[in-house]
């Protein structure tokens, strides 16, 4: 059962809270404001990251068991919304515990989204990468389009881009990218998202045959202007490579 308010995932898992501002996408970080208001967690270099409760850490295995019992399809888990999974200031061992949890929950597809793709590559080179872990990175402007190239070094079943908030028109080489999420910013200081920028990237995805997901327009509330693009809900999802290979094999056998 979906427990996340984020439209492109089924669940959100926060093993810890806390982070540092990394690039312009972070300027109006909702997580920093919420963490301080609700939990007293300060953002910034040298600030302690706060581990969440054991009850939180047990949730993914409960989700996995429920899917195994129901026989339903894999469900997506966004990890994490209140920090960055590849934040170098996270306490040693916490990240390894998350990856151990990923390996224990094969019926969950873990969406690891980071603004620190080089740290993600280092982790992959040292530790390997689970089949059910996707790798994503944020590309909010042209200056950070290089992040898309970095994650291509990780042989994840899905590599994706989060262009949220999209701050200017961006051109990206989508070869090796499996999914793109585009969206605007919400909150009091939200930055405007012109429709032309969204349509331009939708066209780039069409030309590259990459699934395109439009999340929201920029407004005070994420729901204020709706979620349609030219009257259409654009919520395309990727098929993980390991699952696609199995499907292709089944088709070949049937033929």
Q: Between these two residues, 195 and 226, which has the higher pLDDT value?
A: 195
User: Is position 123 within any domain?
Assistant: yes
Would you give the end-to-end CA distance of the chain in angstroms? 36
Q: What pLDDT was estimated at residue 242?
A: 80
Whether 249 has a pLDDT exceeding 60, the answer reads no
pTM summary value? 0.93
Mean pLDDT is lowest, of 91-100, 102-111, 182-191, 231-240, for 182-191
Whether 19 has a pLDDT exceeding 70, the answer reads yes
Which segment, 28-32, 204-208, 243-247, is predicted with the most confidence on average?
A: 204-208
Position 12 confidence tier, pLDDT thresholds 50, 70, 90: very high
Q: Between these two residues, 40 and 243, which has the higher pLDDT value?
A: 40
Measured between alpha carbons, how far is 178 from 135 in angstroms, rounded to an integer? Answer: 10
Q: What pLDDT was estimated at residue 108?
A: 98
User: Is position 2 within any domain?
Assistant: no
Q: What pLDDT was estimated at residue 92?
A: 83
Whether 233 has a pLDDT exceeding 90, the answer reads yes
Instruction: Collect all residues with Cβ–Cβ distance below 8 Å to 55 and sequence separation of at least 6.
Output: none
Q: What pLDDT was estimated at residue 253?
A: 42
Position 148 confidence tier, pLDDT thresholds 50, 70, 90: very high
Q: Cα-flanking dihedrals φ and ψ of residue 108, to 5°?
A: -115, 135
Measured between alpha carbons, how far is 112 from 79 in angstroms, rounded to an integer? Answer: 5
User: Is position 29 within any domain?
Assistant: yes
Share of the chain above pLDDT 70, in %: 93
Domain containing 86: what range?
Answer: 11-254
Query: Which residues is 159 bridged to in the sheet?
Result: 135
User: Is position 6 within any domain?
Assistant: no
User: Average pLDDT, stretch 231-252?
Assistant: 75
Measured between alpha carbons, how far is 81 from 139 in angstroms, rounded to an integer? Answer: 16
Q: What pLDDT was estimated at residue 245?
A: 58
Share of the chain above pLDDT 90, in %: 78
User: Is position 4 within any domain?
Assistant: no
User: Is position 5 within any domain?
Assistant: no
Whether 194 has a pLDDT exceeding 90, the answer reads yes
Closest by CA position to 90, among listed 150, 42, 127, 47? 47
β-pair type (212-214, 108-114): unpaired
Closest by CA position to 153, among listed 117, 180, 127, 126? 117
User: Average pLDDT, stretch 52-61?
Assistant: 97
Whether 255 has a pLDDT exceeding 60, the answer reads no
Position 7 confidence tier, pLDDT thresholds 50, 70, 90: very high
Q: Between these two residues, 219 and 156, which has the higher pLDDT value?
A: 156
- The total number of structural domains in the chain stands at 1
106 touches 133 (CB < 8 A): no
User: Is position 100 within any domain?
Assistant: yes
Instruction: Tell the burial category of 187 from Cβ atoms under 10 Å away from its Cβ (0-12, 13-18, 19+).
Output: middle
Instruction: Collect all residues with Cβ–Cβ distance below 8 Å to 229 and sequence separation of at least 6.
Output: 195, 198, 199, 202, 214
For residues 123-146, one letter each, b for 16 or more C-beta atoms within 10 angstroms of the residue's C-beta and e for the rest, the string is bbeeeebbebbbbbbbbbbeebbe
DSSP category for residue 141: S
């Amino acid at each position: 059962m979906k427990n996340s308010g984020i439209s492109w995932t089924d669940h959100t898992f926060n093993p810890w809270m806390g982070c540092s501002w990394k690039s312009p996408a972070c300027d109006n970080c909702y997580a920093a404001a919420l963490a301080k208001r609700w939990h007293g967690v300060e953002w910034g270099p040298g600030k302690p990251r706060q581990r969440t409760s054991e009850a939180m850490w047990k949730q993914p295995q409960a989700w996995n068991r429920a899917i195994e019992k129901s026989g339903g399809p894999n469900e997506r888990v966004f990890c994490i919304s209140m920090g960055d999974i590849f934040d170098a200031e996270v306490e040693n061992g916490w990240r390894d515990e998350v990856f151990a949890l990923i390996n224990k929950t094969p019926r969950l597809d873990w969406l690891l989204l980071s603004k620190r793709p080089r740290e993600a590559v280092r982790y992959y080179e040292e530790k390997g990468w689970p089949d059910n872990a996707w790798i994503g990175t944020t590309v909010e402007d042209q200056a950070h389009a290089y992040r898309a190239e970095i994650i291509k070094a990780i042989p994840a079943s899905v590599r994706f881009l989060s262009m949220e908030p999209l701050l200017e028109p961006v051109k990206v080489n989508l070869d090796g990218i499996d999914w793109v999420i585009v969206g605007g910013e919400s909150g009091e200081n939200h930055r405007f998202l012109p429709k032309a920028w969204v349509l331009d990237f939708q066209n780039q995805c069409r030309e590259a045959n990459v699934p395109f997901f439009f999340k929201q327009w920029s407004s005070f509330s994420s729901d204020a202007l709706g979620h349609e693009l030219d009257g259409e809900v654009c919520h395309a999802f990727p098929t993980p490579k390991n699952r696609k290979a199995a499907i292709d094999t089944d088709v070949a056998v049937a033929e």
